[in-house]
Amino acid sequence: MILAAGAVGFWAVIVILVIVLALFMSCIRIVPQSQAYVIERLGGYKCTWSVGMHWKWPIIDRVARRVLLKEQVVDFPPQSVITKDNVTMKIDTIVFFQITDPKYFTYGVENPIMAIENLTATTLRNIIGDLELDQTLTSRETINEKMKISLDIATDPWGIKVKRVELKNIIPPPAIHEAMEKQMKAERERREAILRAEGEKTSTILVAEGKKSEAILAAEAEKEAAILRAEAKKEATIREAEGQAQAILAVQEANAEGIRKIKEAGADQSVIQLKSLETLSKVADGKATKIIIPSEIQGFAGSLSALAEVVKDK
């Protein structure tokens, strides 16, 4: 009996030790990176655990919520909105947010994600209600910035920081979509016509400039040709004049040489006059209509005529 009681006591001690060890291990908590634990004691907020190992008392302390501190993305389904010009469309949004205060996030609102979704829908309706359809389609950046500012202010008491808001899709009604496609098609055709007209205008200008350049080149070529012809004519005239001058010089030199030889031969005055007459006869054979004869030659010619008549009488 004593041995049985001792064995029971031993196992009881072992069980107690296991229970104590299990309770001890359950009281140790390790918080991973980018997370935070909200701790309650006896139902009330006690503290917020950050990264590392922490100790909590069993039964009286408990982890109320594990909070993710990374930036999160929520894609909400399309919301029906009405523009200022009474056009109904659907817009779906994406919200980027980060939890900055785990305590406010835990106790500020019942369901933070649902609260952000509803707040996004109401804020989007308020902003789009002040814009017309064309402004809505062309003012994405403005709408995103306004929504970010409004959501950030509204979610600040909940320990949430809204980083960014994006309009993912804007879905207009089918009739509006068809009208927009027709408008875009007409705009593309208008741009095509403008580009074609500009191309034809540029082509016409280039052709005109080409013809102008061709005419200028032709005029310059004609001018250069006229200059070359004038220079050639001038050169020919100069060469002709030089030839005539050389011919006259050669004749004069020949006459001078003949006179010199006559003088060297000792010819008297009558021979010289006779040579002059021969020269005059050659001159008379030309096309001249008037011949001026020196007086001394005229007297010698008269003597020759008288002598000829005497010889004839005999």
Dig out the tokens for 115 from the structure: 């609260």
Number of independent structural domains in the chain: 4
Q: Which residues does the chain have with pLDDT short of 70? A: 1-8, 10, 177, 258-259, 262-314
* Residues 6+ away with beta carbon under 8 Å from 63: 29, 37, 38, 39, 56
State the residue for tokens 């809505």: 136
| Whole-Å CA distances, 215 to 205, 207, 210, 211 | 15, 12, 9, 6
Residue 165 has what pLDDT? 92
CATH code at 79? 3.30.479.30
Residue 211, burial from CB neighbour count under 10 angstroms (0-12, 13-18, 19+): exposed
Predicted local confidence at residue 97, as pLDDT: 93
Which pLDDT does position 199 carry in this prediction? 87
Q: Which pLDDT tens digit goes with each residue over 105-150?
A: 999 888 888 999 999 999 999 998 888 888 888 888 889 999 999 9
CA 102 to chain centre: 52
Residues 83 and 146 in one domain: yes
Q: Which helix (H) or strand (E) holds 232?
A: helix 174-265
Domain extent at residue 155 = 72-172
pTM for this model (two decimals): 0.53
pLDDT at 312: 45
Residue 118 within any structural domain of the chain = yes
Residue 128, strand partner residues:
none
3-state secondary structure of 75: strand
In a domain, 103, yes or no: yes
Which of 118, 120, 122, 125 is closest to 88 using CA atoms? 125
Q: How far apart are CA 95 and CA 89, in angstroms?
A: 20
User: 157 and 224, same structural domain?
Assistant: no
Strands (E), 157-309: 160-171
Instruction: Judge if 159 and 234 occupy the same domain.
Output: no
Q: Are residues 161 and 76 part of one domain?
A: yes
What does the pLDDT read at residue 266? 60
pLDDT at 224: 87
